[in-house]
């Protein structure tokens, strides 16, 4: 699967919520997530724990650019995230762990994440699913949301939360 996405530092969550409501975006829910990144030779491999009996193993390739970029990914669900984390830790070793509280909003084919990342602060992520609208249209929608949310180029972040945590 493929997304067009950005990540940006965004300290004003209330402003983001106002702008998203004005656009007609809908709040899908708020979730606590723990991401464990594993050492791999190519791409990124992380286990996202959503609860004791729900997790997603996510493998993705994405260039570390600050603007809208393509992310190719695969997701597998698990009902035993702790067991899977233990196995993958033994095989690959843990690179870094990231905990966050995430508000998920939906607008057209775009998932908007308002993230409060432990130790890092507030961020917004935009992920446009290209299977629904194509790469070019998804790219345009991400750019439109960046304007609507008043995201400036100096707020954009290149890498993953794992990269930021590992660098701190």
Instruction: Print the domain residue range for 98.
Output: 2-167
Percent of the chain scored above 70 by pLDDT? 99
In 3D space, the residue among 25, 58, 30 whose CA is nearest the CA of residue 44 turns out to be 58
Mean pLDDT of the chain: 95
112-143 per-position pLDDT tens digit:
999 999 999 999 999 999 987 788 999 999 99
pLDDT tens per residue across span 81-121: 999 999 999 999 999 999 999 999 999 999 999 999 999 99
Counted domains in the chain: 1
Find the CATH number of the domain harbouring 146.
2.40.320.10
Q: Say if pTM beats, i.e. exceeds, 0.85.
A: yes
């Amino acid at each position: 699967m493929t997304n067009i996405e950005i990540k940006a530092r965004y300290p004003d969550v209330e402003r983001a919520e106002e702008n998203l409501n004005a656009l007609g975006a809908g709040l899908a829910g708020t979730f606590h997530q723990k991401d464990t990144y594993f050492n791999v030779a190519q791409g990124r491999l992380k286990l996202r724990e959503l609860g004791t009996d729900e997790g997603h193993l996510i493998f993705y390739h994405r260039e570390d650019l600050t603007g809208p970029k393509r992310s190719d990914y695969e997701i597998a669900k698990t009902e035993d995230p702790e067991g899977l984390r233990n196995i993958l830790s033994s095989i690959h070793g843990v690179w870094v762990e990231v905990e966050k509280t995430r508000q998920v909003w939906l607008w057209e084919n775009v998932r908007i994440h308002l993230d409060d990342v432990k130790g890092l602060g507030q961020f917004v992520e935009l992920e446009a699913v290209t299977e629904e609208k194509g790469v070019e249209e998804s790219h345009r929608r991400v750019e439109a949301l960046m304007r609507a949310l008043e995201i400036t180029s100096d707020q954009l972040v290149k890498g993953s939360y794992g990269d930021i945590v590992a660098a701190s």
